[in-house]
Structure 1
Amino acid sequence: MSQSEPAPTGVIHDIGYRGYGGTRLSRRRIGFGLYTHTLRGIFGLGRAAKSKVVPFGMVIVMLLPAVILAVISVVGASQGGLTEPVLPYTRFAMVTQAAIAIFVAVAAPQAVSLDLRFHTLPLYLSRPLERVDYVRAKLAALATAVFLLIAVPLLVMYLGALAAEFDAGTQTVGFLKGLGGAVMFAVVLACVSLLIASLTSRRGFGIAGIITALVFTYATVTSLEALVASGSANSSSAGWIGLFSPMTLVDGVQVWAFGAEPSSPAGPPSDTAGLVFLVVLLLLVVVCYWALVRRYRKVKI
Structure 2
Amino acid sequence: MSTPAPDTTRIHNIGYRSYDGPRLGRSYARRSLFSQSLRGAYGLGRSAKSKVLPMLLLAVMCAPALIVVAIAVYTESGKLAMEYTQYAVYLQLVIAVFLASQAPQSVSRDLRFRTVPLYFSRPIERMDYVLAKYGAMASALFILTATPLLIMWIGSMLAKMDFAEQTRMFGQGLVSVAVLSVLFSGIGLVMAALTPRRGFGVAAVIAVLVISYGAVSTLQGISYATDNTGSIVWLGLFSPLTLVIGLQNAFLGAPASFPAEMEVGAGVGTVYLLVVLGLVAACYGILMARYRKVGL
Where on the TM-score scale, by shorter chain, does this alignment land: which range?
over 0.9
Q: Do residues 143 (structure 1) and 138 (structure 2) align?
A: yes
Select the residue among 265, 284, 288 that pairs with 1:270: 265
Amino acid at match of 2:249: V
Tell me what 1:5 maps to.
Answer: none
Report the Cα distance in structure 2 between the residues aligned to 1:20 and 1:148, rounded to whole angstroms: 39
Counterpart of 1:20 in structure 2 is 19
Tell me which moved more, 16-25 or 135-144. Answer: 16-25
**1:283 to partner: Cα distance:** 0.6
Are the structure 2 counterparts of residues 193 and 65 from structure 1 closer, same or farther at C-alpha, using a change threshold of 3 Å?
same
Q: How does 1:52-201 map to 2 (within 5 A)?
A: 52-77=51-76, 82-201=77-196
Structure 1 residue 259: Cα displacement: 1.4
* Higher alpha-carbon deviation: 164-173 or 257-266: 257-266
1:37 corresponds to: 36
**Distance in 1 separating the partners of 2:240 and 2:263:** 14
In 2: Cα distance, 1:239 partner to 1:152 partner: 30
Whether the 8 Å CA contact 2:68–2:82 is kept in 1: the answer is yes
Once the two structures are TM-superposed, the CA of residue 270 in structure 1 deviates from its matched residue by 2.8
Q: Does the residue aligned with 1:298 lie in a helix, a strand or coil? A: helix
Q: Is the 8 A contact 2:232 2:258 kept in 1?
A: no
Q: TM-score, normalised by structure 2?
A: 0.93
Displacement after TM superposition at 1:127 (Å): 1.1
Instruction: Check conservation: 2:117, 2:294, Cα contact below 8 A.
Output: no
1:214, 1:245 within 8 Å by CA — same for their partners in 2? yes
Question: Would the alpha carbon gap of residues 149 and 18 (structure 1) be closer, same or farther in structure 2, given more than 3 Å must change?
Answer: farther
**Are the structure 2 counterparts of residues 13 and 300 from structure 1 closer, same or farther at C-alpha, using a change threshold of 3 Å?**
farther
- Spell out structure 1 runs of 4+ moving beyond 6 A: none
Distance 1:140 1:29 in 2: 15
Query: Do 1:242 and 1:267's aligned partners in 2 also have CA atoms closer than 8 Å?
Result: no
**Partner SS state of residue 108, structure 2:** helix
One-letter amino acid of the structure 2 residue matched with residue 103 of structure 1: F
CA distance in structure 1 between the partners assigned to 2:229 and 2:128 by the alignment: 46
Equivalent residue, structure 1, for 2:251: 257
CA contact (8 A) 1:252 1:277 kept: yes
**Aligned counterparts of 1:20 and 1:142: Cα–Cα separation in 2:** 34
Report the Cα distance in structure 2 between the residues aligned to 1:220 and 1:101, rounded to whole angstroms: 16
The equivalent of 2:207 in structure 1 is 212
TM-score for the superposition, normalised by structure 1: 0.91
Amino acid at match of 1:99: V
Conserved in 1, the CA contact under 8 Å of 2:251 and 2:266? no
Give 1:251's aligned amino acid: I
Deviation at 1:20, TM superposition (A): 3.3
Instruction: Indicate the residue corresponding to 2:216 in structure 1.
Output: 221
User: CA shift at 1:16, angstroms?
Assistant: 6.1
1:40 maps to a residue whose letter is: R
- Letter paired with 1:282: L
Post-superposition Cα deviations, 1:36-79, rounded to whole Å, max 9, x if no partner, equal 000111111111111112111110110100100111111121xx
Distance in 2 (alpha carbons) for counterparts of 1:64 and 1:286: 34
Matches within 5 A, 1:222-237: 222-232=217-227, 234-237=228-231
Cα deviation for residue 15 of structure 1 reads 5.2
Could you say if the C-alpha distance between residues 222 and 14 of structure 1 is closer, same or farther in structure 2, counting changes exceeding 3 Å? farther
Report the counterpart of residue 4 of structure 2 in structure 1.
none
Letter aligned with residue 266 of structure 2: D
Give the aligned partner of residue 3 of structure 1: none
Asked if the contact 1:237–1:269 (Cα under 8 Å) also holds between the matched residues in 2, the reply is: no
Q: Specify every segment of 5 or more residues in structure 1 that has no aligned partner in the other structure, as ranges.
A: 1-7
Distance 1:56 1:18 in 2: 45
How many pairs were matched up? 288
Counterpart-to-counterpart distance in 2, 1:13 and 1:176: 66
Counterpart of 2:87 in structure 1: which amino acid? Answer: F
Name the counterpart of 1:294: 289
How many Å apart are 1:262 and its aligned residue? 2.7
- SS at 2:223 equivalent: helix
